[in-house]
Amino acid sequence: MSERVVFEGRLLKITTEKKRLPNGHISSLEIVQHPGAVLIVPFITKAKIILLKQYRPVISKYIYELPAGTKEKNESPSVCAKRETVEEIGYYPRRITKLGEIVPVPGYSTERITIYKAEDLIKKEKANQPDEIIESMVVTRSEVRSLFRQGLIIDAKTICAFAMCRWL
């Protein structure tokens, strides 16, 4: 019906919009427009994956999560997944399999995250990204489950990916 741009940044655009709902009610929405993202479950072997310990400045803490990243303009999810795997862990996946897609916050954002399983990894040069503090580690399913039970894996997209590949 009507849309107004409230903020436009490098990554996100925030709009306000009036929309007619299926029941006829007109609702005022605040919407975070997001280009979409990917998350990768990188398997070193069938029994071991690479997990990240990453500092997240927005919440001022380190958290355990899987490699992920935002799609660039006109980039397909699969190309983004391969790029992010090299950038974040220094491996190129020769084989990726789509596990599914999630909408992490459908109440206010258009973001969709495509989740991939990456296998047959080839060692590459890891990208130097000064705005990201990342430590990677190889872990087993039992170690993932232990971290989760301890409340150390709190990233929603990572929890969804582990559920999709039956690691939780």
β pairing state of 113-123 and 134-140? unpaired
Residues 9 and 52 sit within 8 Å (Cβ to Cβ): no
Query: Mean pLDDT by 10-residue block, N- to C-terminus, for the chain (168 residues)?
Result: 90 96 97 98 98 97 97 97 96 98 97 98 85 94 97 97 96
Give the three-state DSSP class for 162. helix
**Which of 121, 108, 105 lies closest to 157 in space, CA to CA?**
105
Q: What pTM, to 2 d.p., does this model score?
A: 0.94
User: What is the per-residue pLDDT for 2?
Assistant: 77
User: What is the per-residue pLDDT for 130?
Assistant: 84
User: What is the per-residue pLDDT for 160?
Assistant: 98
**Residues paired with 69 in a beta bridge:** 38
C-alpha span between 145 and 160 (Å, rounded): 13
| Amino acid (1-letter code) at residue 49 | I
CATH fold group of domain 37-102+109-164? Nucleoside Triphosphate Pyrophosphohydrolase (3.90.79)
